[in-house]
Structure 1
Amino acid sequence: MPQRWLITGSSRGIGRALSEVVLDAGHRLVATAREPAQLADLAERYGDAVRIAALDVTDPVAAQAAVRVAVDSFGGLDVVVNNAGYGNVNSVEDADLDDFRREIETNLFGTIIMTKAVIPVMREQRAGHIIQFSSVGGRVGAPGRAPYSAAKWGVEGFSEALSLEMALIGVKVTVIEPGGFRTDFAGSSTSLREGRAEYDAVVGATARLQRAYNNRQPGDPTRAAQVILEIATMDRPPLRLPIGSDAVKIIERADLGKLEELERWRGLSISTDFPPEDRPAAGPGNDPSEMSSS
C-alpha cells in the first residue's frame, strides 16, 4: 500500500536519493528544500505523486505549512524523515557562538520543530513513523565538530524520549546514524577550518581527513535510501540504526570503551548512594531504572 512521506533536505545527498527511491517505489512524497527550484525535476518526472514545498526547518510556520501540504494533498502523513542538516569543522575555541547557534538551530531545533509539527497528525491517525537523522557524531564526540555533536547528541536524547511517548499512540521512531557517505556533506556545503596549532592533532587532522575522504567514503546514498525505505515497512523497526561499515566499527569501539569505563569506576559511582537501610523501597512507578526504551 502506498505510503505518504515528507522528507526534509530533499535537494541533495541522502535526502535526494531517498526522495527518488520513495517515488520509484510508488509512494507519495512532499519533497522539501530551502530552494524549491532545486526540486523542479522531481515534479516533472513524478507528476502528481510528489508535492514540492519550500522549507526552512528552523521556521515553525513553514514546518506547519509543509505538513499541511501532505494532509491536503494526500490525506495524511505516514513517514516523516528529518534529514536536513550540516556540520562544519572548527575548534571549540575558534567557533563563535553564532556558529554554535546556527548548527544547533538547524540540526537539533529543526528536528524538534518538524517533529512537533507532525505529531498531531500522527496522533489522530494512531499511526506513523518518525525517522530522525543523527550521525556517528551523535554517538561519539567528534573533535572539530563540537556544535554538530552537541546537536546530534541532542537529537539522540530527544528521539529516545520521544519514542517512549509515541509508542502509546502507535507511532514509531527510528534514529539513523550515518558514517561517511558520498554526498555534498563533506564538500561545498561544509566549512573546514584547521584552526590554531594547539589543536592541530585533532581539529586540523579532522579537516584534512575530511578533504581527503571526500568522494572516497564507503557509503552509497542510494543503498542507504533503500535501507530507510525497508525500515519504514517494519512493524518493529530499530530505535537506532547505524548505516555504513565505518559507522558500525566506530560505534562498536566507542560503546565497548564506555562499558569498560563504567566498570572501572563502578565503585566510585555507586558510593554516592545513601546506605541501603536509609533508602525507601522501590516499586512500580518510582524506580527510574524501569523507564527505558528497551
Structure 2
Amino acid sequence: MSQRWFITGSSRGLGRALSEAVLNAGHRLVASAREPARLSDLEERYGDAVRTAALDVTDPVAAEAAMRIAIDNFGGIDVLVNNAGYGNINSVEDTDLDDFRRQIETNLFGTIIVTKAAIPLMRKQHAGHIIQFSSVGGRIGAPGRASYSAAKWGVEGFSEVLAREMELIGVKVTIIEPGGFRTDFAGSSTQLSEGRPEYEAVVGRAASMQRELNGRQPGDPARAAQVILEVAAMGKPPLRLPLGSDALAAIEQADRAKLEELEHWRALSVSTDYPRAQV
C-alpha cells in the first residue's frame, strides 16, 4: 500500500538512500533539506510522487511550512523520518560552547521541532509512524563526540517518552541506531580534531579511525533503506533497532557491562531506602 513519507536530510547519506528507496517502492515523498536545489533530480525522475522542501530543522516556522507542503500535495503524512544531523570530533575541553549548542540544536532540537510539527497531523489521522535516527552513539558515550552523544541520548529519551504518548493516538515510534555506514557522514559532514595530546588515547584515536575507515565502513546505505521500508510497513515495529553488525555488537557488549555494574553495586543502591520497619 502506498504511503506518504516526509524525510529530513534527504540530500545525502542515509537520507538520500532512503528517499530513493521510498520513491522506487511507489510511495510519495516530501524530501527536505537545507538546500532543496540538491533534490531537483528527484523531481525530474519521480515527477508528482515527490515534493521538495527547504528545511532548516532548527526553525519551527520552516518545519510548519514543510508540513503544509505535505498536506497540500498528499493530504497528510504516514511516515516521518527525522534523519538530519551531523557530528564533529573533538574533546569536551576543546569543543567550544557554540559548537556544542549547534550540534545539540540540530540533532536533538531539530528532531523535537519537526516531530512536534507532525504530531497534530498524525493525531487527526489517528495513525502514523515516526522514525527517529539516533546512533550507536545514542546508546554508548562515543569518545570525542560528547556533543553528538549528548544530543542522541536526548533523542533516545525524548522518543521513548513520545512512544508512550503516541500509542494513545494510534501512532508508532521507532528509534534507528546506525553504526558505521558508507555515507558522507564520515567525510565532509564532519570536522575532525585530534585535540590535546592528553586525550590522544580516545579523541585522537577516534579522529584517526574515522579517517581510516571512511569509505570502508561495514554498513550499506541501500540495505539500510530497505530495512527501514520494512519497519515502516510493520503493524508492531520495534521501539529500537540497531543497524549494522558493528552497532549490534557494541550495544550488546555495553548493555551487558551496564547490567554487570548494576548488579555489582546493588547493595549500595538499595541502601538509600528507609528500613522496612519504618515504611
TMscore range, shorter length? over 0.9
Residues 84-109 of structure 1, C-alpha deviation per residue, up to 9 Å, x if partnerless? 00000000000000000000000000
CA RMSD of aligned residues (A): 0.5
Q: What are the equivalent positions in structure 2 for 1:204-223 lying under 5 Å apart?
A: 204-223=204-223
Q: Give 1:274 deviation, angstroms.
A: 1.3
Amino acid at match of 1:178: P
Amino acid at match of 1:80: L
- Counterpart secondary structure, 2:6: strand
Taking the aligned partners of 2:192 and 2:82, their CA distance within structure 1 comes to 24
Q: What are the equivalent positions in structure 2 for 1:22-61 lying under 5 Å apart?
A: 22-61=22-61
Q: Give 1:49 deviation, angstroms.
A: 0.2
Taking the aligned partners of 2:53 and 2:108, their CA distance within structure 1 comes to 21
2:71 aligns with: 71
Q: What are the equivalent positions in structure 2 for 1:64-143 lying under 5 Å apart?
A: 64-143=64-143
Taking the aligned partners of 1:108 and 1:268, their CA distance within structure 2 comes to 34
TM-score by length of structure 2 reads: 0.99
Q: Give 1:276 deviation, angstroms.
A: 2.3
Identity value in percent: 77
- Paired residues in the alignment total 279
- Counterpart secondary structure, 1:216: coil
Taking the aligned partners of 2:277 and 2:82, their CA distance within structure 1 comes to 48
Taking the aligned partners of 1:74 and 1:140, their CA distance within structure 2 comes to 38
Q: Give 1:261 deviation, angstroms.
A: 0.2
- Counterpart secondary structure, 1:131: strand
- Counterpart secondary structure, 1:2: coil
Amino acid at match of 2:207: A
2:244 aligns with: 244
Residues 203-246 of structure 1, C-alpha deviation per residue, up to 9 Å, x if partnerless? 00000000001000000000000000000000000000000000
Q: Give 1:189 deviation, angstroms.
A: 1.1
- Counterpart secondary structure, 1:215: coil
1:182 aligns with: 182
- Counterpart secondary structure, 2:129: strand
2:154 aligns with: 154
1:15 aligns with: 15
Taking the aligned partners of 1:149 and 1:229, their CA distance within structure 2 comes to 26
- Counterpart secondary structure, 2:21: helix
1:292 aligns with: none
Amino acid at match of 2:42: L
Taking the aligned partners of 2:140 and 2:149, their CA distance within structure 1 comes to 8
Taking the aligned partners of 1:206 and 1:278, their CA distance within structure 2 comes to 51
Give 5+ residue unaligned stretches, structure 2.
none
TM-score by length of structure 1 reads: 0.94
2:193 aligns with: 193
- Counterpart secondary structure, 1:242: strand
Taking the aligned partners of 2:168 and 2:275, their CA distance within structure 1 comes to 37
Residue 243 of structure 2 is aligned to residue 268 of structure 1: no
Flag as ranges the 4+ runs of structure 1 deviating above 2 A: 276-279
- Counterpart secondary structure, 2:58: coil
Taking the aligned partners of 2:172 and 2:275, their CA distance within structure 1 comes to 40
Give 5+ residue unaligned stretches, structure 1.
280-294
Taking the aligned partners of 1:277 and 1:6, their CA distance within structure 2 comes to 57
